[in-house]
Amino acid sequence: MSSVPLSAPADARPLNRSDYKTLSLSALGGALEFYDFIIFVFFAAVVGKLFFPADMPEWLRQFQTFGIFAAGYLARPLGGIIMAHFGDLLGRKRMFTLSIFLMGVPTLAMGLLPTYAQIGIWAPLALLLLRIIQGAAIGGEVPGAWVFVSEHVPSRHIGFACGTLTAGLTSGILLGSLTATLINSVYTPDEVLDWAWRLPFLIGGVFGLCAVYLRRMLSETPVFAELQQRKSLAAELPLKTVLREHRGSVVLSMLLTWVLSAAIVVVILMTPTLLQTIYGFDAATALKANSLAIVCLSFGCVAAGAMVDRIGAGPVLLAGGLLLGFTAWTFYSCLQQHPDWLFPLYALTGLLVGTIGAVPFVMVNAFPAVVRFSGLSFSYNLAYAIFGGLTPLVVSLLIKWDPLGPAYYVVTLCGLSVLIGAYLRGKGR
């Protein structure tokens, strides 16, 4: 594994105004793009009623609706690989801007789509196509954003930059949840079904296009610019180099992505439903607690990134894994007897999920600059497609065996975080 910041003389300088501008615009764009990607799931029930035949069985309508949602995840690896390929050859900024454009336009189009009652089978097919484009976009956005900010700041601030960007991405989930809550509070169910469901898509599309304009104000990363000047860009297909020379880095990055996806999917995305079905909380209480956990998660990501710059990624992943494992077990095992602990325990668990803010630092430094985008994108998107898709199924099966199934899964992956942390610490990272 290689950690090669090309602009070494600038490594000692503090973050300047330009760095903060880059971080702010990157995090804002990431939040808006993640909002566009996940807003679909908050209106899945309404979309299912409008984009499939009225006489279709409810279970089949729900299955097909979530199938369209899942298509976005399946498109992530291919989209990420293609965009990373050109990011390593043509520039980080171009792909960084293209990814948010490819997210904003389909989101806007979703808000304008005719329904099944208007154009028949073409409605769900058009929705599926737009969702696939969104998946390709998010596949390039997340790795591209981590690479972009890490190559803009001095090497001793890469952890903070990656943690801040990750906090921006998680804020997009919160923004989607709050928007869905607002729409369903302001408008009646009939109004939402009739026309108000379009609002969050139209708003997301407009904001996405605004973010495209803002990203045009950013400059190419100094690292890539130096690679161009030296004529040191990849001489062959970047992914070919990654698979031949950096297989260890790919494995490490995929394992870290498994830890990241488990924490996000189980603790943040699945737990609101589990709080209602297993622990008996009402939907409003579960969503409020979840919103608090996401806020704490965002702060945790920034804190973890800043700590990485001070003490290294190994100690952060090791200590964070231990603390999250303990807190997650306490959270899932104590709520039955102590439902009044929901908000403080969920907030603390969300804060410690922020340990994932250390993950992109390791992945960015696992690959040399010339193939960094391709290596990180391939590892992250492939692992997220596998583990992000399997995690809900595995947790659901574990719950049938024991209601504490989510705790077992999260604690197991925290153990993996501890092992990786110990390995990195032994390597002086």
Cα–Cα dist 220/87, whole Å: 11
- Secondary structure letter of residue 16 according to DSSP: -
**What is the C-alpha to C-alpha distance for residues 101 and 95, in angstroms, rounded to an integer?**
10
Predicted pLDDT of residue 227:
67
CB 154 within 8 A of CB 294: no
The single-letter DSSP state of residue 15 is P
Q: What is the pLDDT of residue 10?
A: 53
182 Cβ neighbours under 8 A, 6+ residues apart: none
DSSP-assigned letters across all residues of 301-337:
HHHHHHHHHHH-HHHHHHHHHHHHHHHHHHHHHHTTT
Burial of 278 per CB tally in 10 Å (0-12, 13-18, 19+): middle
pLDDT at 214: 78
Give per-residue burial for 214-245: e unless 16+ CB within 10 Å, then b: bbeebebbebbbebeeeeebbeeebbebbeee
Q: Are 66 and 132 in contact (CB under 8 A)?
A: no
* Domain 236-429 grouped into CATH 1.20.1250.20: yes
Q: Give CA–CA dist 81/381, Å, rounded.
A: 8
Homologous superfamily (CATH) of 17-233 is MFS general substrate transporter like domains (1.20.1250.20)
State phi, psi for 403 to the nearest 5 degrees: -60, -20
| C-alpha dihedral, 399 to 172 to 179 to 126, nearest 10° | -80
Determine the pLDDT at residue 183.
Answer: 87
Delimit the domains of the chain by residue range.
17-233, 236-429
According to the model, what pLDDT value does residue 6 have?
Answer: 44
Check residue 189 and give its pLDDT: 85
Helix (H) or strand (E) holding 160: helix 158-186
DSSP state of 218: S
Distance CA 226, CA 336 (A): 57
- Report pLDDT digits (tens) over 331-382: 999 888 898 899 999 999 999 999 999 999 999 999 988 888 888 989 998 8
Residue 173 pLDDT: 84
pTM of the model: 0.82
Judge whether 17-233 and 236-429 match in fold: yes
What stretches in the chain show pLDDT beneath 70?
1-12, 223-224, 227-236, 428
Asked if 249 and 375 touch (Cβ cutoff 8 Å), the reply is yes
d(CA 116, CA 124): 7
